[in-house]
Amino acid sequence: MHDYELLSSETVYQGRVIAVRRDVVAMPGGSTAQRDVVEHPGAVAVVALRDGQVLLVNQYRHPVGRRLDELPAGLLDVEGEPALVAAQRELAEEAGYQAQTWHVLVDALTSPGMTDEAIRVYLARDVSACERDVQEHEELEMTAHWLPLAQAVQAALAGTLENATAVMGVLAAQEAVRRGFSGLRPPDAPWIARPEAAGAG
């Protein structure tokens, strides 16, 4: 197989969360190609289940100009914070819940043709309410609600649940329920894309 050697690389944009890198890569047949890469710190999301229902949050997303139903989620933007700890923090901050039982549900590369963004989706069970730490900006108007998992799955299939992480999360959760939660990975399972964040803390 061809060795896709990196011939040159430069950061052309550095934002608050992301950076954009311009790479020149050796291609098969002796040619080269420019690839623009969005560098992303990674993220976590939580499928919280309680009594056959899944917890969704709703917030405004500026790039699409409307509010979306999503899973509680957040960036891996705290230096040295394990992914599980970040997921637990986001569940509490965004929705006001905590959970006793945690598993890795799925790991995904969100759009590997243009970004290195990786997300780990956890399954949280034995859920109870805790104090919510109100954040800022769009999160000031974030709401949380419980929806029967079957309805969330139907919304994904109908195209009304559009957030990619939420779609993959509820579909994977449905399969996990069908299997009686057997075969799920522990919360500190290895993570190919973000090995440094995989530990449980």
Q: Quick one: what percent of the chain has pLDDT higher than 90?
A: 91
Nearest C-alpha neighbor of 48 from the set 110, 1, 114, 92 = 92
pLDDT beyond 80 at 109: yes
Catalytic: which of 139, 141, 175, 196?
A: 139
According to CATH, the topology of domain 43-197 is Nucleoside Triphosphate Pyrophosphohydrolase (3.90.79)
List pLDDT tens digits, range 26-39. 999 999 999 999 99
DSSP H or E segment with residue 98: strand 97-109
132 by DSSP, 3-state: which? coil
- Whether this prediction's pTM lies above 0.85 is answered by yes
Beta bridge partners of 108: 119
User: Which pLDDT value is given to residue 66?
Assistant: 95
User: Which pLDDT value is given to residue 135?
Assistant: 66
Query: What are the extents of the domains in the chain?
Result: 6-39, 43-197
User: Which pLDDT value is given to residue 140?
Assistant: 76
Reported confidence tier of residue 200, pLDDT bands at 50, 70, 90:
low
Say whether 139 is catalytic.
Answer: yes
Distant-in-sequence, close-in-space partners of 190: CB < 8 Å, separation ≥ 6: 198
What CA–CA distance (Å, rounded) separates 165 from 106? 10
Average model confidence (pLDDT) across the chain: 95
